[in-house]
Amino acid sequence: MRILFVETFAGGSHAAFADGLVRHSRHQFTMVTLPARNWRLRTRTGAFEVARTVPDASGFDLVFVTDLITLSDLLALWRPTVPPVLLYLHESQLTYPFPKDRNPDFDLVLRDIRNALFADRVVFNSRFHRRAFLEQTATLADRLCDADGDIASGWAGDIEKRSSVLYPGVEVQPGPARTNPVPRVLWNHRWEYDKRPGPFFRALSVLQEEGVPFELVVLGENPQDQPKGFPEARERFADRIVQWGYAESVEEYRRWLSQSDIVVSTAKQENFGIAVVEAMRSGCVPILPRRLSYPELLPEELHADLLYDRDRELPALLKRWLAMPRDACARAVSAAMARFDWKALAPAYDSLMEETAALRTAG
């Protein structure tokens, strides 16, 4: 098939997803991508830039578009002949946990719902994300509609019928057995509020005060001039840091993953968790909160040993895994992550794209 792939925020995990899908699919792609700058503006103007690049989409069998766009604008610009549209939701403002001093942009929240309603097929990157999106859609629509609630059941029910879940792929290979004389703890998330670096650094402070040996590898993108908590942590753990800051190449990033022992998350927002999956596939033992998408990533038999419920449990769990043999667990976790390899997932994506392209013909 001839597929037009539209990504209006081609950076980070979005760019990696697009690249992996295109390289592993059996179909032919034409890529339209925009730089990963000013995501709020992209959602409002991206459709116009895409339509300027591709003024007529009728020659394609399918349009594959991701979430940071106003889909209704794009469809209006392409009218009257538009191929079937598959919308992939990496994230959504509808489910984002905003700080207490910030209110969500209602226009962007409603845009996420409209996108899902306009698409022929909607694909979420985890069961957690799909469930949260549908619940929030019903809740929001119920607040906006008449007392009979017809709008609420209509929006959520319509999206639910046309939606499914396909995990994003990764391309990290299993790493070697670890030989670090001092175990290394890894942070490889964005340096932002929703990843909650505070509890992570506080847990490390407890272990530092107890004299527990560990080294620290801090990776991840820093989109802020003054990321809260990081300058203080760099000073506090200066004698334990072996890497601090964004890895400038994929090769360097993967090298640090393969040289780390334990990956930790304290996030309050994670629709899938590519960074954690990459670390686990590389051979890191994960210590993760029992929430968000994390429970569905790990085999259930590992939940009791690797998931925690409250921040106050983290220091003790981390201390235990720093002191005990980790090779067997690391191998089991890495093997479990093989299901997220692009080679395993690409056939399912190809089948879904073919089914979506056939919808208009069948209708």
- 12 and 75 in a single domain? The answer is yes
Residue 329 lies in a domain: yes
pLDDT in tens, 241-275: 999 999 989 999 999 999 999 999 999 999 999 99
pLDDT-based confidence at residue 97 (cuts at 50, 70, 90):
confident
Q: At 26, is the pLDDT very low, low, confident or very high (cuts 50, 70, 90)?
A: very high
Domain containing 314 equals 184-340
Q: How far lies 261's CA from each of 170, 249, 360, in Å?
A: 19, 21, 50
CATH number at residue 134: 3.40.50.2000
Average pLDDT over residues 47-57: 96
Same domain, 192 and 63: no
Separation of alpha carbons 141 and 2, rounded Å: 36
pLDDT (tens digit per residue) in 192-206:
999 999 999 999 999
* 169 has a pLDDT exceeding 90: yes
What pLDDT was estimated at residue 39? 86
Domain-located, residue 174: no
292 and 313 in one domain?
A: yes
Same domain (yes/no): 295, 358: no
Q: Quick one: which H or E segment has residue 305? A: helix 303-306
Q: Does residue 101 register a pLDDT over 80?
A: no
| Domains in the chain, number | 2
Q: Label residue 81 by pLDDT band (50, 70, 90).
A: confident
Q: What is the DSSP string of 232-280?
A: HHHHHTTTTEEEES--SSHHHHHHHHHT-SEEE---S--SS-HHHHHHH
User: Are residues 330 and 347 both part of a single domain?
Assistant: no
Residue 107 banded pLDDT, cuts 50, 70, 90: confident
Which one is predicted more confidently, 274 or 103? 274
Task: Report the alpha-carbon angle 7-270-12, nearest 5.
Answer: 35
pLDDT of residue 211: 97
| Any domain includes 175 | no
Do 137 and 204 share a structural domain?
A: no
Domain membership flag for residue 130: yes
**52, 8 in Cβ contact below 8 A?**
no
Are 61 and 197 in the same domain? no
Q: What is the pTM of this model?
A: 0.94
Q: Report pLDDT digits (tens) over 13-25.
A: 999 999 999 999 9
Co-location of 346 and 319 in the same domain: no
Neighbours of 226 (CB within 10 A): 7
